[in-house]
Amino acid sequence: MSELIYDVIVIGGGIVGLSTAYKLNLHHPHLKILLLEKENAVAFHQTGRNSGVLHSGIYYKPGSYKAKNCVEGRRELVSFAKEHHIAHDICGKIIVATDPSELEHMSKVFNNGIKNDVEDIEMITAAQIKEIEPFCSGISGIRVGCTGIIDFVGVCNVLSKLIVEKFQGSNVLLKHEVTAFVKDGDKTIVMTPKGNFTGKYIVNCSGLQSDRIAKKDGMNPEMKIVGFRGDYFELTPEAQHKVKHLIYPVPNPEFPFLGVHFTRMLHHPTECGPNAVFVFKREGYEKTDFSLTDTLDALAYLGTWKLFFKHWRFGLDEYRRAFSKKLFLERLQRLLPDLKMEDIVPGRAGVRAMALDIHGNMIDDFKIVNSDNALHVLNAPSPAATACLAIGKAVNDMAEKHFNLN
């Protein structure tokens, strides 16, 4: 066991964990903070496999943590990116209605944006949609000028460097998977295969593993993380000209997914997707990946089955598209009718951590709870990457109160 006692040990090297460690140190420079990441690089899972979009905050229920943290976090993250020369582009996006049945919810989305203080948004006509995106067809839309794209992995690399170089005694360790906790009086020994570390306080930001880490700490999270894989296609070089900005459909209000959309990337071709299919391995990025432990864990949970029964038709449609390029193309053609089969090729995939309660309800907002000398970020869904610095500040504020930090 290491003789060094850390003030706070943060578990998880995604963008939320790194932002939390950074904000804790920024507000308390004297604290010795250790961040433990099980992979050989930061941002290895959800952070490094998402679409890279800086969300505006237009979708979220006014007054929710998502709405507040997304708007504030986006503005802070853009400033942070400028200060540290992180690649980003405030290119704007359009949300497009293709059917009259979508107009009512689109108006609600726009009104949410106004209430959430999202800047540079306006309703646009079918003709204006064509002016912005000549290959896109819709009957009405919303232009969101403050949306952009950013290198989230770059953000994480900068945060990791700042933690190590700016704050004496703080550190980020890779290839250190947390396997257990042992209570030692008012401290906790965090056990890993590469050594044990003692901390006064623990902050769990482990994303896809957040519920399991909470259980290792002796806490009942009262929810289960269930993974949903998102598969992407990419536009070929010959088809890149068909998308100039970001193009989104009006989201289905029954689901937390934003629907299949087009994202102009910074370092990759334009992405088309994702779908959303249940995975048989929490960190499985191939269609055939399978983990018996993860599968049994998910299927033994009553909430998983209740979700399936509620939304079986949606789930079946998503699985069909996951294995059919033709069906995936048909969904894309709702926004870009002239898109051809030869315009798209298979791209990458990511897995999203979906938090479910026992009734099969998807926990839509951020969920952070405390337990003895620990804080557990149990649910940090999209727009968590955009809101990362604001979430880090929120966790710091909770830690100050719960841990009596000074």
CATH at residue 179: 3.50.50.60
How far is it between the farthest Cα atoms of the chain? 68
As a whole number of angstroms, the distance between CA 154 and CA 207 comes to: 19
User: Which residues of the chain carry a pLDDT beneath 50?
Assistant: 1-2
Q: For residue 184, what are the CA distances in angstroms to 5, 201, 202, 269?
A: 12, 12, 13, 51
In this structure, the answer to whether residues 330 and 398 fall within a common structural domain is no
143-175 b/e (C-beta count within 10 Å ≥ 16 → b): bbbbbbbbbbbbbbbbbbebbeeebeebbbbbe
- Say how many CA atoms lie within 13 Å of 160 toward its Cβ: 19
pLDDT at 2: 46
Strand 271-273 and strand 140-144: the pairing is unpaired
In this structure, the answer to whether residues 275 and 345 fall within a common structural domain is yes
As a whole number of angstroms, the distance between CA 75 and CA 341 comes to: 38
CB atoms within 10 A of CB 330: 12
CB atoms within 10 A of CB 256: 19
Phi, psi of 36 (to 5 degrees): -110, 125
First-last CA distance in the chain: 27
As a whole number of angstroms, the distance between CA 335 and CA 94 comes to: 11
| Contact yes or no for 27/21 (Cβ under 8 A) | no
Instruction: Give the domain extent around 338.
Output: 224-245+257-362
| Contact yes or no for 72/23 (Cβ under 8 A) | no
- The CATH number assigned to the domain holding 321 equals 3.30.9
Q: Is 303 helix (H, G, I), strand (E, B) or coil?
A: helix
The whole model's pTM is what? 0.95
- Say how many CA atoms lie within 13 Å of 110 toward its Cβ: 18
In this structure, the answer to whether residues 161 and 241 fall within a common structural domain is no
| Contact yes or no for 344/233 (Cβ under 8 A) | yes
As a whole number of angstroms, the distance between CA 393 and CA 66 comes to: 14
| Contact yes or no for 278/228 (Cβ under 8 A) | yes
In this structure, the answer to whether residues 318 and 352 fall within a common structural domain is yes
378 within a domain of the structure (yes/no): yes
Which ranges in 84-219 belong to alpha helices (H)?
A: 103-115, 126-132, 152-166, 210-216
pLDDT in tens, 292-303: 999 999 999 999
325 within a domain of the structure (yes/no): yes
DSSP string over 342-386? GGEEEEEEEEEEEEE-TTS-B--S-EEEEETTEEEEEE--TTTTT
Number of domains in the chain: 2
pLDDT at 1: 42
In this structure, the answer to whether residues 319 and 293 fall within a common structural domain is yes
In this structure, the answer to whether residues 338 and 268 fall within a common structural domain is yes
DSSP string over 272-287? EE---EE-SSTT--ST
In this structure, the answer to whether residues 379 and 341 fall within a common structural domain is no
DSSP state of 251: P
As a whole number of angstroms, the distance between CA 320 and CA 298 comes to: 21
pLDDT at 253: 81
In this structure, the answer to whether residues 218 and 237 fall within a common structural domain is no
Q: For residue 258, what are the CA distances in angstroms to 80, 177, 248, 400?
A: 26, 32, 8, 35
As a whole number of angstroms, the distance between CA 348 and CA 230 comes to: 9
303 within a domain of the structure (yes/no): yes
